[in-house]
Amino acid sequence: MLFVAKAELSLCICRVLSTQYIAWTAGEQSSLLLSPRANPDMERFRWCEEELENWRAKYALETLLSYSGAASKPILRVHDALLQMVFLTTSSALHRPRMLNATETDLRMHSRNKIQQAALEISSIAQVLSRQNLIRYLPITGVTVILLSVMAHLLDINSPDLSIQILGLQRFSQGILILQQLAAMYGSAELAISFLELAALSWGLSYTEFTLADLSINDPVPTADSIILELTVENRGRRSSVCVIQIYGTKTADERQYKGQFLGFTTVKVEAGGIEQVQVAASLRPFMVWNNERLTLTGGKAILEAGMRMQPPALICF
């Protein structure tokens, strides 16, 4: 059933791409690029949307990711999850041109909601795989679907609604952590992370000025695969706002070098002129290697750095 669902979804993907995009080649290597159609056929659009909805209704019970983790073998759960994420990415690809080009506000908002919902579901599925330690089994297609979902969360980061902005930042950072795991296997994941960091930096999201100080390790002994860091956040501006603190780490062990690894984040609201003491959980998984079917922490010293959003780190803790 899984293979039949994949074959039928492939046909849906072909129809979506031919309806909403124009394929053309560029460069000496004749790379295939897709550009949104300026005036897509609305009847074909509705047909594609209905076809995708029918696909999900038909295969939801057979291919939906098992959140309990007990319904199937791990490798089948990975394939189920990937198929669902590819479906959601296809739905986003169908609606993205209309979100950008539609003249009617209702149509544009409908497509935007579809894209945001798809991104949310992809993030939820990826988080389940991460908790079950199954990200390492995803093929390179996983990089594409995760990248597109994280890009969609950038829309939430720029929302005037503070609660939506915080959720967008959390999902964005969680997506970076997932891509960090995939980067151990695929070079394209590292390129995706670099692209997302530049994209986030270009948004200029802060409404006030924060400073960080007194970064320290709360518990020097790692608990499972993480440690707790403490630091002080001061709001020097005239407006209360949310500071998103991100932790990076650099470590050299054996012949491997782990540079600028994203380890964790937290959010804290600081009133104008206020100071808050903050704790951040930092994952040590980027510094771990597989040894006899177990993740083990490599030896050596690490440099931990704290920064705000995607800005360069401001504090260092050895």
Reading the chain (318 residues) residue by residue, the pLDDT tens digits are 778 888 999 999 999 998 988 877 655 555 667 788 877 788 999 999 999 999 988 886 454 444 434 455 777 888 888 999 999 999 999 998 888 777 778 888 889 889 999 999 999 999 989 888 899 899 999 999 999 999 888 877 767 677 777 788 788 888 888 998 898 899 899 888 878 866 765 554 555 788 888 888 876 666 667 888 999 999 988 777 778 788 888 876 555 556 667 788 888 888 889 999 999 988 887 777 777 767 777 767 778 888 875 455 555 655
Rounded CA-CA distance 83/289 in Å is: 28
Q: Do residues 72 and 219 both lie within one domain? A: no
Contact at 8 Å (CB) between 68 and 85?
no
Q: Do residues 80 and 195 both lie within one domain? A: yes
Q: Look up the CATH number of the domain holding residue 305.
A: 2.60.40.10
pLDDT for residue 206: 53
Rounded CA-CA distance 231/211 in Å is: 10
Return the closest-CA partner of residue 263 out of 288, 246, 244. Answer: 246
Contact at 8 Å (CB) between 131 and 67?
no
pTM: 0.66
Contact at 8 Å (CB) between 127 and 207?
no
Q: Using CA atoms in the order 285, 290, 293, 294, what is the torsion angle rounded to 10 degrees?
A: -40
Q: Do residues 219 and 297 both lie within one domain? A: yes
**DSSP code of 223?**
B
Contact at 8 Å (CB) between 268 and 278?
yes
CA distances from 102 to 72, 92, 106, 112, 202 (A): 42, 15, 9, 11, 26
Which residues lie closer than 8 Å to 166 by C-beta, 6 or more apart? 242, 267
Return the closest-CA partner of residue 194 out of 243, 116, 155, 202. Answer: 202
Domain encompassing residue 262: 210-317
Q: Do residues 20 and 165 both lie within one domain? A: yes
Burial (CB < 10 A; 0-12, 13-18, 19+), residue 150, is buried
CA atoms within 13 A on the CB side of 181: 25
Rounded CA-CA distance 39/89 in Å is: 22
CA atoms within 13 A on the CB side of 46: 3
Q: Do residues 141 and 264 both lie within one domain? A: no
- Structurally, the chain folds into a number of domains equal to 2
Q: Do residues 159 and 274 both lie within one domain? A: no
Q: Do residues 92 and 108 both lie within one domain? A: yes
What the block records as the tokens of 269 is 């609201």
Q: Do residues 284 and 168 both lie within one domain? A: no
pLDDT for residue 207: 52
Beta partners for 245? 266, 308
Q: Do residues 242 and 196 both lie within one domain? A: no
Return the closest-CA partner of residue 200 out of 170, 243, 157. Answer: 157
Q: Do residues 195 and 222 both lie within one domain? A: no
What the block records as the tokens of 77 is 């759960």
Q: Of 156, 172, 202, which marks where a domain is finished?
A: 202
Neighbours of 7 (CB within 10 A): 9
Q: Of 186, 202, 218, which marks where a domain is finished?
A: 202
Rounded CA-CA distance 275/286 in Å is: 31
Rounded CA-CA distance 278/234 in Å is: 11
- Helix spans in 132-282 (H): 141-157, 162-183, 187-202
Q: Of 174, 202, 230, which marks where a domain is finished?
A: 202
Q: Do residues 194 and 282 both lie within one domain? A: no
Amino acid at the residue 266: T
Q: Do residues 198 and 216 both lie within one domain? A: no
Rounded CA-CA distance 287/285 in Å is: 5
